[in-house]
Amino acid sequence: MRSRVLVVGDVMTDVIVVPEGPIVKGSDRRATVRSRPGGSGANQAVWLGAMGANVVFAARVGAADKAMYENYFRGLGVVPVLAGDKEQPSGVLVTIVDPDGERSFLTDRGANLNLSPDDLPASLLDEIGMVVVSGYSFFAPGPRAAVQGLLAEARARGIAVAVDPASVGFLVEVGPAQFLGWTKGADWIFANESEAEALTGMAGYEAQMRALGGRFANVVIKRGRLGAALGGSDGVRVLQPAPVVTVVDSTGAGDAFAAGFIAALLAGEDETAALAKGIAAGAKAVQSIGGQPA
């Protein structure tokens, strides 16, 4: 398998809010507020770059930010292919982190919503071994059409395609049948247990694995502090635990997991080793604030 990976997804600025206690409606609450680079696709690309993978990242940002983001990604070992939007600013995501590390999001996707077929030419696929697409790219008509055209070309060339559902909220909003139809033919899906339950209507990773295996050749279910499972229509092939760590912020943990797994897989490691590296990357991610490597 060719080792170069193409990531398609959002670029966001993450504004991360960690209150000292429950939010008081109509009044103040002390909090730590930090701004970090983010976006599911951007997070995956940067984590892949940190792991030494040969990675290309395609996305759309506000025109005023294009040069800044290009320099940023290049400095982190990522080859950026960014379109500049003259109408919309770059996206912003506000993340509110509960005391237990769980997150709630307020999303303004901005320029990401204008991703177009011109931003994803077929030439992007030259020398690519895998295409990784964030689920956010499927949740709006324009980006969805652009991504589906690229994925059709990837499949025609025999290039592996991986999809990360990314948002259980948006999955419920559009409906699981729609999302499964849009992503039909993908070789890999990386879903957490909530996303897998939304897509299958089933509880329990084993049942979810078999159900999703009827749609995708390979299924990875991220189980948070319990680790992860890998398999397909025949059930679980590999099941591994996660190390016990102190959770500071779970933002980007799933993106780090996917990057760790994919980097290992493209480097020629087997599924067991790749799953272990994905889990290790996810565990590392939750120990610091932000969705990208500290």
- Percentage above 70 pLDDT, the chain: 99
Structural contact between residues 282 and 222, judged by C-beta atoms closer than 8 angstroms: yes
Q: How confident is the model at residue 11 (pLDDT cuts 50, 70, 90)?
A: very high
- 4-9+38-90+109-285, which class in CATH? alpha beta
pLDDT tens for residues 228-278? 999 999 999 999 999 999 988 787 899 999 999 999 999 999 999 999 999
pLDDT tens for residues 174-210? 999 999 999 988 999 999 999 999 999 999 999 999 9
The distance of Cα 257 from the centroid of its chain, to the nearest Å, equals 9
Domain boundaries in the chain? 4-9+38-90+109-285
Query: What pLDDT does residue 1 have?
Result: 53
Query: What pLDDT does residue 22 have?
Result: 86
Measured in degrees and rounded to the nearest 5, phi and psi for residue 272 equal -65, -45
**Mean pLDDT within 132-144:** 93
Query: What pLDDT does residue 216 have?
Result: 96
Rg value, the chain, Cα: 18
Terminal C-alpha separation, the chain:
30
Q: Which of 195, 281, 194 is nearest to 243 (CA)?
A: 281
pTM, two decimals, is 0.89
- 228-232 vs 235-240, strand pairing mode: antiparallel
Residues of the chain by 3-state class (helix, strand, coil), percent to 5: 40, 30, 30
